[in-house]
Structures are given as C-alpha cells and as structure tokens.
Amino acid sequence: MKTADRMRLLPPYLFAELDRLKTEARARGVDVVDLGVGDPEQPTPAAVVDRLCREAGDPANHRYPAYEGSALFRRTVAGYYQRRFGVRLDHDREVLAVIGSKEGISHLIWAFVDPGDVVLVPDPAYPVYRSQTLLAGGRPVLMPLEAGRGFFPDFGALRREDLERARIMFLNYPNNPTAAVATREQLAEAVAFARRHDILLCHDAAYVEMTYDGVVAPSVLEVPGAAEVALEFYSLSKPFNMTGWRIGAAVGNTVAVEALGRIKNNTDSGQFTAVQHAAVEALGGDWAESFIREMNAIYRRRRDLVVSHLSELGWEFQVPRGTFYVWAKPPGDRGSAEFASELLERTGVLVPPGTAYGPAGEGYVRIALCIDDRRLEEGLGRLKEGQQGF
C-alpha cells in the first residue's frame, strides 16, 4: 500500500522516537531515568479537575462545541491577557480556542503557506514548525539561535530572496529548547521586521508563565501595533500541568484568527466544552497565580540542582531563566546523537540530542526538569558516573 509522497518528508517525531527508545531500553531490563519529554509529573490543580467533573455531567456540554470556542472561554482568555499583559483583546475577533498549541500551530501553516513559500524557523526549535511546513509544501528557512546572541535570531543575516517568499516567522519565548527569555525590546524588533517584510509573526508563548529569578516574560502583543502582524499561541499545558487536556488559544491578528478558524471549521469540531470550562477555572481562579508561583519554585529548585551538577562536570550552558529545560553542551567532541545514545546505553539516562531540534543543536542535549527530585538526583548521579567512562 503506497502512502502519500509527503510522508517521505517527515522524520520520526522526536518525542515518539524517545518513547520508542525508552520502551526498548526498559524491555532490556534498564531502569530508565527519563529526562527527555517536557511533560509535568505534578497533577493538574484539583479545582480544575473538579470543574471538569461537574461540567462533564451537564448534558448541555455533550453536544458539538462552538467551532471558535465558547464565548465564556474566549472572554476569560481576553480577561487573562488584560490582567497579565495589559493587552486588550476583542474576544469575538481576536481570540480562538485551539485543541492545544500544537494543533493550532499546525493548522496555521496550512492557512498561510502555499507550495514553495518560505517559513522562517528558529534553529534549534520545537520540531512541529519545520515538519508542518514541509507537509504544506513550504520551504523552512532556518534562523540560527546562537548562545552569543542570547539565542535570539539575527534577522539581518536572512537572504533577501528568502524574505520575498516568507509568509510566517516563528518565534518561541521563553524558548524551547534553549530556555532563553526574550525581552520586550527584542520582540519589538521582531514585530518591526515582520511589518517591514509583510510576514505573519507567530509567537509560541507556551512557557510564558515559567520564569525565575525575578524575570517576567512578555507577550509579543505588549508591543504597540503588534496585533497588526502577530498571532500568539497561549497554552494551559505547562503552567497548569494540563498537557493531556489539549486546550489553548490563538490570540491577536484578526486575519490570522479568521483564517485559522476557517481551516479548523473544515478539519475539527472544536474542543469538548467541559474542557473549556475547566480552562476557565484555571485562567480565572483566584488561586492560579499562587499555584504558578509554587510550580516555578519547584522547577527553580530542580534547575539549581542540575546547574550545580553540570558545573562540576564541566558542561557549558547558560543558566535558564525560563521554561523547565536546561540546554547544555557536554565536554568532549562527541556528536549530540552519539552522546545521547551512549548515555542511555551506559547509564539508563534518557536525554534528547540537540540535533533533534535542528542542525544548530549539534553538541547540545536538553534536560527536562519534569521528574521528581529523587529520580532527578539519581539521574544526575548516574550522569556523573557515566561521564567518567566516556
């Protein structure tokens, strides 16, 4: 049976591949310490779970949801943006419910990219930006994120012929995988660049609530006039430990919201209304800010533990100011994939190689802090023992 030609463009999805490697290692009897996938191990807040249970029992929520998301959900998202960022949104025209950011980002590309069009993709980056561009027939043009520039792209290095065909530029701050946090001034630079070249700026803000050491991450929509060229994706997955719930929002540029909504109308039937009510509980609850602070304190403690161990081992890294990742370069001249494979084989510690996020990730690995402290310490101990034999 022949599959579509486009399937040849797709490599195995990173996190599915990590699951495969983990399963194979466990089948060999290896006690795997998984420092790979950014999936919080802490539970979803009880108030959110309770709200879902109540709403799931209401027959009114058993019917098809509104395609664009419920008015209550969209108003709540707009209220969150007003409180958190000082950004006013029209919930009817500038807010759209998505079935998680991944779904929204994927469909956005289909709404704007024709075969041969260029999409500007950070390197390294969340793999979906590149893979969905390829599926749509677009051409990803990589923007290297270098440590010396704080892992922010150099727009001046992009070629004029690429910019002439560019339709979307992706940015993601706080950044996966590098953990860099962009300043409002940097985002303003990106907005001005997008306006100058008539490009839709898509800002993936999945980690916007996850920052440390007094850092507060901005929304791109805080930049005056940003909504003229920018669409931002907000997700409840990371701040509220709701990765499996699949709920988020696309906010900002009205043309992009309408186009994405039209793609979705012809593709899916929206997110279960009870899940939207649960998201309203998270975004509107008076407990939410303290919950996020508590979670960030947990990740900051784990970050400090990892930073301390890696410093002793001579790894290169910038101390993360956001996300729950540590992006680090082990000593020696092994490639990322070779190092990660040998680390799993020797120690049972699983980390994704930096090249899984793009060519500029060579030499790095990403360590996720989504594991309880005891297992994290065990993994770091194994890392120390294993590195001595490399």
Which residue, 362, 325, 324, 330, is CA-closest to 346? 330
- When the pLDDT of each residue in the chain is averaged and rounded to a whole number, the result is 95
pLDDT at 387 over 80: no
The share of the chain scoring above pLDDT 70, in percent, equals: 98
**Contacts of 314 by beta carbon, 8 Å cutoff, 6+ apart:** 331
pLDDT range class, residue 22, cuts 50, 70, 90: confident
| Single-letter amino acid code for the residue at 323 | T
DSSP 211: B
Q: How many CB atoms lie within 10 A of CB 259?
A: 18
Nearest to 298 by CA among 210, 176, 172: 210
* pLDDT over 70 (residue 390): no
The reported pLDDT for the residue numbered 25 is: 81
Tell me which H or E stretch contains 46. helix 46-56
Q: Could you report how far apart the first and last alpha carbons of the chain are, in Å? A: 44
pLDDT at site 167: 98
Judge contact between 123 and 147, C-beta under 8 A. no
Q: Tell me what pLDDT residue 13 has.
A: 67
Question: In the structure, what pLDDT confidence band is assigned to residue 23 with cuts at 50, 70 and 90?
Answer: confident
**Per-residue model confidence as pLDDT tens digits over 279-322:** 999 999 999 999 999 999 999 999 999 999 999 999 999 999 99
- Say how far apart CA 60 and CA 64 lie, in whole Å: 9
**pLDDT level of residue 19 (50, 70, 90 thresholds):** confident
What pLDDT shows up at residue 15? 66
Cα dihedral 279, 250, 253, 203 in deg (nearest 10): 120
Structure tokens at 376: 């994290």
Question: For the segment 246-290, what is each residue's pLDDT rounded down to a tens digit?
Answer: 999 999 999 999 999 999 999 999 999 999 999 999 999 999 999
Query: Whose CA is closest to 274, among 42, 90, 53, 40?
Result: 53
* Segment 231-242 mean pLDDT: 98
Q: pLDDT: is 355 or 8 the higher one? A: 355
The confidence band for 14, taking pLDDT boundaries of 50, 70 and 90, is: low
| Domains of the chain in sequence order | 5-43+289-388 (3.90.1150.10), 46-285 (3.40.640.10)
Nearest CA to 149 out of 189, 180, 190 is that of 180
Please spell the DSSP secondary structure of 325-377, one letter per residue: EEEEE-SSS--HHHHHHHHHHHH-EE--BGGGG-GGGTT-EEEE--S-HHHHH
What pLDDT is recorded for position 16?
75
Asked if 274 contacts 69 with a C-beta cutoff of 8 angstroms, the reply is no
Q: Is 167 helix (H, G, I), strand (E, B) or coil?
A: strand
Segment 76-100, tens digit of pLDDT: 999 999 999 999 999 999 999 999 9
pLDDT tens string 100-149: 999 999 999 999 999 999 999 999 999 999 999 999 999 999 999 999 99
Given a cut of 80, whether residue 360 has pLDDT beyond it is yes
